[in-house]
Structure 1
């Protein structure tokens, strides 16, 4: 599943943020963005020395808690009394930025620079201008509770679905956490890595190693379009994951540490579509079982300042597994109300962070909490499953899908040899012989979803539907986010006239990579046969649009 970054961190952890983008607060631009490296100029621009701060810091505190409108009102009231105060003027430009009013933020900091040409202000101005440039092709789509900016040309395949995913997240997660924000939440979907990197501060390394394809900071959600990855990613869960970070910031007054943030977001990221969390996947269970057996946990302290910055994909995945398992333990011990009480305690700013909040809510010291959590994991009798693989997030080069790397898809050298032979046979129309070669490859690498789909596709060409279905179901079990499996399942069920099953499989494909025209072709047919004419027309139009752009 996707690994998503969160850019908020508790003020109690800010001392650890010696590098990275820094957040302006209490008239001192304090470090809060735990995954960001926007560069030295931007970092410098967002620091104001404490010696320059005078008077109350309510405006900075409000910005720190992502209460941009309240901060704007407070700061404008201060400026009515002290119109030339550079502290209030700078904070106002930041409050406007947090409201998504980029042009107003730019105008405010420009006016400030005219009077006080400080290099720090120039740096912040550069970041605002860069954000404006990164979002200039985006069009506003407004739903009841969200302001969604998306490139409706390049990312047309997202447009029919993104509002529903966010609104379902709003309702279902609101019931879980008792928070239904009144302000409309800003969401930006970036069409290219070139626009995403400067706006989010994430890098190609963060995406391909850590899977950080979304981030929540600056009081908004930012997401890289799944069109940029070779096989897409579960973008629907990703955007819901980021919305969870937004809720956590507001529920905890931005005091939650990274491990608590990521644990909650990971545990509940699929709650918008499922009645119960599926956080304990085969991969997650295997990672936790291995860590228990070898005493090789990442550890809460090592998750700071960001899981995304851990060295390897394995460490990142294990960190998310650990964090989610802690949430599972809290809910098992205290119920969902216990989790809400921890966030409420954090919002009261007792000064001892999550360790103190957990101690007060759970009734024992944090060291005991860690022991109880490990015993809880031991009691689950977790197992390492065969064939579990770490996720791969391969970026496209431009709009080109990278050539298939059989070494990445298939572990066995002999299996790769049989696969190449099978591909050549299929090109000659010899599907039966090709299926035999794919079977031989599977004997050597029985856990490859790539091979399972190769074999299923060859069998479907021969109309051997039941045999193909067997292999596709195995592929789905082994790799639930492998998009090709769902496309093939949709094709198979359409052929068998099982249109509701086809619709369900193809909806899974849409959640991962909606830019494949075949998905929408099969969906259009399924909806037509199910008597859902409006949906059929929508999918047909999307199919024709995507097909025409190729």
Structure 2
């Protein structure tokens, strides 16, 4: 910060002190000024809230309204123990039922639960110093990757939307979904029903570890998604409705890892959901996405809603570019409604926009793929082999698969491959569990080309299946194609980073010029292979 900027910030402080002192001397209250601090926090204007609070703290540090504002600001800073001290003081000093007491009591309960949840977490700064990553246990292995992802997202969004937070952002990684429920307004039922796995709230990013799910989830894109929410809220002063908020977050979530000219395509599942909804005229109305996607009835509805808002924002971007998306936020900050802002940047009113967006969807060539299933998030750790077999459809499929597994355990690999092939013939070429088991058996027979062939139909439908991506990476590595190996293993890393095979493979597949990354993956390979 330059000397000039320090001086400019100091002048209003002196003026404010002089202006408010007489009112205080006559018994005046600072509640109206303190409410302004709360309003700035609600508008995600943390730096302005701090500047507004500083003179109030200097004048009347023991005013309950000022202490309440200070406690809330410290909470938004991620300083929970300090926030608790202020909030406890307010609850003791004010009468029950009074406005400061009611707000302080609510915040005290939330902050105390949050502080208890993150007790014992370690803290690590990202390489650029812009993110503070809190985690515990094995989730600490994610800290560097969390920082890399968010630093890249920060750079891209600064270029796209013209904003970076003026302070380090706190990121918390929770080992269980119950932890996310303890630190947020969501219930565990909300989380499991809708598949909500992360939040951006109270000026921080909160995600559940991919270890908490059976097959992981796209946690790195999810981090960038939540960071986009922070930027959108900050630029717009929290004036963007949920459908547009989520659409912007989906639009930008993968840009941290893509060239500037590229946009992540819709996944096969998204295309399927949109194709079905168009055919059945069952698209979800924008208004039903309010107040939160987490309140939608099930994971299928949530996934469809996300696909809708993502394509709606893509439609806007195609018409008005990145400048148009930034213009949307500035228009709403200035007081326009969402549809007034959309019209300002696209020239389309609400009805014309909906017609144009549906026409845009039809131009995407959406078709329903036979046999493609929606695999929602599965919460919980690894299930037993028998449970996974029981999930296969058809008694014949299960019989061949169970026999194949038994033969494979006994080292009778060729006989096992024969049974896996029979199971796949009965269950379909794209059955994920069968395809991956077959491919791994081929790898054990030193037949990597056959392994790759077995998995191509699977990833065509399910590119987010980390098991298949990992096996493909190992197969390409066996063939000496290190570029393809690194590509597939990198995808797997973005979904299920606790599989040691991913890190063992990347330690060999990454270019020698990336010596630091190779060494890190080598260390993680050893750490994850070792007994706990």
TM interval, short-chain normalised: 0.7 to 0.9
Show the counterpart of 2:72.
Answer: 94
State whether structure 2 residue 270 is matched by structure 1 residue 284: yes
State whether structure 2 residue 249 is matched by structure 1 residue 265: yes
> Partners in 2 of 1:172 and 1:94 — Cα distance?
30
Alignment of 1:195-234 (within 5 A): 195-234=179-218
State whether structure 2 residue 191 is matched by structure 1 residue 185: no
The Cα shift of 1:274 comes to 1.8
Change (3 A) 1:411 1:263: farther
> Partners in 1 of 2:470 and 2:516 — Cα distance?
22
Could you tell me which runs of 5 or more consecutive residues in structure 2 were left unpaired when the two chains were aligned. Answer: 1-29
The Cα shift of 1:444 comes to 2.8
Do 1:193 and 1:228's aligned partners in 2 also have CA atoms closer than 8 Å?
yes
The Cα shift of 1:146 comes to 2.5
State whether structure 2 residue 351 is matched by structure 1 residue 367: yes
Do 1:231 and 1:513's aligned partners in 2 also have CA atoms closer than 8 Å?
yes
> Partners in 2 of 1:214 and 1:202 — Cα distance?
11
Show the counterpart of 1:401.
Answer: 382
Show the counterpart of 2:52.
Answer: 74
Change (3 A) 1:407 1:92: same
Show the counterpart of 1:465.
Answer: 448
Show the counterpart of 2:289.
Answer: 303
Q: Secondary structure at the match of 2:140?
A: coil
State whether structure 2 residue 48 is matched by structure 1 residue 65: no
Do 1:456 and 1:472's aligned partners in 2 also have CA atoms closer than 8 Å?
yes
Q: How many residues align?
A: 493
The Cα shift of 1:261 comes to 0.9
State whether structure 2 residue 424 is matched by structure 1 residue 442: yes
Deviations 1:187-233, CA, capped at 9 Å, x for gaps = 11123334332113444434433221110000110111111111111
Change (3 A) 1:153 1:478: same
Q: Secondary structure at the match of 1:150?
A: strand
> Partners in 1 of 2:513 and 2:334 — Cα distance?
54
Do 1:257 and 1:354's aligned partners in 2 also have CA atoms closer than 8 Å?
yes
Change (3 A) 1:61 1:412: same
Deviations 1:338-371, CA, capped at 9 Å, x for gaps = 1211111011124xx2122212332242122112
Greater shift in the superposed pair: 492-501 or 127-136: 492-501
- TM-score, normalization: structure 2? 0.87
> Partners in 2 of 1:117 and 1:485 — Cα distance?
61
The Cα shift of 1:324 comes to 0.7
Alignment of 1:158-169 (within 5 A): 158-169=142-153
Do 2:210 and 2:219's aligned partners in 1 also have CA atoms closer than 8 Å?
yes
Change (3 A) 1:298 1:227: same
Alignment of 1:368-387 (within 5 A): 368-387=352-371
Show the counterpart of 1:23.
Answer: none
Show the counterpart of 1:538.
Answer: 520
Show the counterpart of 2:413.
Answer: 431
> Partners in 2 of 1:523 and 1:372 — Cα distance?
44
Show the counterpart of 2:307.
Answer: 321
> Partners in 2 of 1:217 and 1:408 — Cα distance?
40
Change (3 A) 1:56 1:239: closer
- TM-score, normalization: structure 1? 0.84
Could you tell me which runs of 5 or more consecutive residues in structure 1 were left unpaired when the two chains were aligned. Answer: 1-51
Larger RCO: 1 or 2 (CA < 8 Å, sep 6+): 1
Do 1:457 and 1:468's aligned partners in 2 also have CA atoms closer than 8 Å?
yes
Q: Secondary structure at the match of 1:140?
A: strand
Larger Rg: 2
Alignment RMSD? 2.3
